[in-house]
Amino acid sequence: MRDRSWTRLAVILVACAGCRGPRPVAPSSKVRTPRLLVTIVVDQLAAWEAAERLGLLPADGGFARLRREGLTASELHFEHAATDTAAGHAALYSGEVPRVSGVFANEMPGPDGKPRSILTDEKTHLVGSDGVEIPERPGSSLARLRVETLADVLVRALPHARVYSFSLKDRAALPASGRKPTLALWLDVATEQIVTSSALPAPTVWAARVGSKEAVTSVRSNGWTLDEADRGWVEARAAAAPDDQPGEGDLAGLGRAFPHAAVGSAKAMRATPLGDRVLFALARSALGEIAADRTGAPALLALSLSSHDYVAHVFGPHSWEAWAQLVELDRRLGDLLATADRAVGPDGYAVMLTGDHGGGTLPELLPEARGLRCELGGPADHWERPCAPARRIAPHAVVESLEAVFAAVLGPGPWVVGVAEPFAYLTAHGGALSEADRRKLVEAAKTALAPLGIEDVIDARAATAPCPAGESRATLVCNAIDPTGGADLFLLVGPGAFFDADVVPGFGTSHGSRFLYDRAVPLLVRAPGRVKAGEVRATPVSFRAFAKTAASLLGVPAPEGARAGEDLAGPAR
Ligand SMILES: [Zn+2]
């Protein structure tokens, strides 16, 4: 690639009449601005997992290269309880907590009462990989997001910039893509293809090819098996744990032990490395397009790798499958970096890798099998992992308990539309209650739900601003609740408790709590000339550092919410 694509003066001309963004970066110093920033969110990559496992991966893999060539921040802290995918991605890419961003849960009840993506937008349609609208299916958009994102700022400051965002989930692809991406794509399991929304550009020719139903089916037909070398590595890492542990689920016929030879659907494929393989293929094509662009336009390639999350939801993080997924992810990351080397040169790009939330463990495992050394009744560890067994909370059990107790206090219902974790939604009947009756209802809910593992119940409509600063329980809860978002009751889970993710009901694990095992993630920043190679930052960093640093690397102002964040690639370093 030409040299001029690598170093340029950080003079950003912001043509945004009426925009409330900050002023351009001062052209006072020569700042190395890579042409390409690759942001990678490994879904459910906890700080505890990174601390315990990344050092065990092969020296020629992607993680080792990122750690060797860049900065490792061991703990990026989210500042909201309800540590889930949509809220996490919105927080990373905007620098705002859910209370401000408006993206406070993965799902909300739709018109039929059934939970659906919080980003569902009835004014849009789903668009297939072939570019044709699927009329009976609503699409998704960022209409609910009230704040600007990294990508929004990028294309406003540099209108010729390219933004690509790929995930298996809309709630991960969209916060990264912003409102005006070049391409934002995710997987639709019902039609088994890569899709977008009519609010966004149609898939390109190469995206149509890589993301078609035929291509997705061909990838999953590979099955998930281990060769001898990987099997040995996995077996050694999993120590004495059996491949089929208590609590592991069987998703859509995938089975609970290797080989997972038959991956019979796109739904099952998500919980294998094959799901991410489709995303890596899209990323390779995007890198080819970026390399072929002779204008040298800056580019953001955002990947949210969802398979890591689904594998934990189905098998738990101490399973053979979790180790096998990690080593495969590591290899694919290494390949991606090599592709980026060829596309723009090793010094032509920066990489930031993090998680959108952490995760807990299978309730069925003993503390030793969960990697904890617990005296009887001992304290939680640095990551606040409890020694007591985790609790799996079934949403339908919550609804049944609430209905019963509300009927006893206030008379016959129905009172509850449903639970889309971590919120309960009331019927119109419940929503119209007086403040005094709502208070009664909240008190009754606390008593009814405590035995299920729910530590507190908060009236989500009554929560008042502003939230106190810091990371206290009160702050984390306050930051998680959007009082205008339509939810009624916030259900705060206790230590080790989680709502059943319903990927395989009654099995697997999840996340969503305010504790560090769910709330702390790692952040790796590879940025030649901008961060010191091999540096480790052990003290916690606010999640706002993600968008702040990314904007700094792209040479554009940070999104408003991230302005107070730390620039890990700042001039002082
Ligand atoms: Zn997630």
**Confidence at 377, pLDDT banded by 50, 70, 90:** low
Domain boundaries, the chain: 37-68+84-298+307-364+516-520+556-562, 391-495
**Confidence at 502, pLDDT banded by 50, 70, 90:** confident
E strands present in 92-190: 107-109, 115-117, 120-127, 133-140, 162-167, 183-188
User: Which stretch, 11-25, 347-361, 388-402, has highest mean pLDDT?
Assistant: 347-361
Task: With beta carbons less than 8 A apart as the criterion, state whether 498 and 514 touch.
Answer: no
Name the nearest CA neighbour of 548 among 536, 531, 560, 535: 560
The arithmetic mean of pLDDT across residues 105-114, rounded, is 93
Using only C-alpha atoms, the chain has a radius of gyration, in whole angstroms, of 23
Within 8 A by CB and 6+ apart from 285, the residues are: 206, 207, 210
User: Ligand 1 centroid to 105 CA: how many Å?
Assistant: 11
Q: What is the pLDDT of residues 328-339, one digit of tens each?
A: 999 999 999 999
- Residue % of the chain over a pLDDT of 90: 85
**Confidence at 368, pLDDT banded by 50, 70, 90:** confident
pLDDT score recorded for residue 84: 98
Q: How much helix, strand and coil, in percent to the nearest 5, is found in the chain?
A: 35, 20, 45
37-68+84-298+307-364+516-520+556-562 and 391-495 agree in CATH topology: no
pLDDT score recorded for residue 143: 98
Query: What distance in Å separates the CA atoms of residue 428 and residue 92, rounded to the nearest whole number?
Result: 34
**Confidence at 28, pLDDT banded by 50, 70, 90:** very low
pLDDT score recorded for residue 572: 53
> Two tokens at 104?
């406070």
User: Ligand 1 centroid to 219 CA: how many Å?
Assistant: 23
**CATH code reported for the domain at 391-495:** 3.30.1360.150
User: Ligand 1 centroid to 85 CA: how many Å?
Assistant: 3
User: Ligand 1 centroid to 251 CA: how many Å?
Assistant: 18
Query: What distance in Å separates the CA atoms of residue 325 and residue 53, rounded to the nearest whole number?
Result: 12
Q: What are phi and psi of 399, to 5 degrees?
A: -60, -45
User: Ligand 1 centroid to 356 CA: how many Å?
Assistant: 5
Q: What's the pTM value of the predicted model, to 2 decimals?
A: 0.94
Residue type, 374: C
User: Ligand 1 centroid to 306 CA: how many Å?
Assistant: 7
The separation between the first and the last C-alpha atoms of the chain, rounded to the nearest angstrom, is 27
What residue has token string 């969802």?
306
User: Ligand 1 centroid to 170 CA: how many Å?
Assistant: 11
User: Ligand 1 centroid to 76 CA: how many Å?
Assistant: 15
Within 8 A by CB and 6+ apart from 156, the residues are: 14, 16, 19, 21
pLDDT score recorded for residue 175: 98
User: Ligand 1 centroid to 309 CA: how many Å?
Assistant: 6
Which fold is adopted by the domain 37-68+84-298+307-364+516-520+556-562? Alkaline Phosphatase, subunit A (3.40.720)
The pLDDT of residue 77 is above 60: yes
User: Ligand 1 centroid to 422 CA: how many Å?
Assistant: 14
The arithmetic mean of pLDDT across residues 487-506, rounded, is 94
